[in-house]
Amino acid sequence: MGFDGLQSLQPNADIVAVKRAWGDRICLMGNLDLDYLLTLGTPREVEAEVKKLISSVAPGGGFILSTTNVLTRYVPPENALTIYLTAEKKPHSLNNRLNISFSIFSEIRPQHAAEPN
């Protein structure tokens, strides 16, 4: 028994230190900030953070680039797209070893039945 990964590492967690200590035994997932970066930051800021995470945590495998939770309606589409486009440009040495995962939350609004005449 046990576990193979650690999901939703918050931005205040030192993911590089966690990778050094546990990266050869478990997969790490997360670390993209939903409180500021993805909701209020610019695409340029998002791109910089994605590049930093990929270069510092992805080498050696065992990293899933992800938000700390789900993508909500508060995340501008251009910021979400920037994550994918930036990760797509990852260095050749990381091909097939970097996973990108996002859960997308969408509000489900009940459809009201037609009022009887």
Ordered per-residue pLDDT tens for the chain, 117 residues? 677 888 878 888 899 999 999 988 898 888 899 999 999 999 999 999 999 998 899 888 888 888 888 888 899 999 999 998 898 886 645 555 555 555 444 433 344 444 444
The partner residues of 101 in beta bridges, in order of sequence, read 66
Would you state the torsion angle of the CA atoms of residues 79, 57, 8, 45, taken in this order, to the nearest 10 degrees?
-20
Domain range list for the chain: 5-101
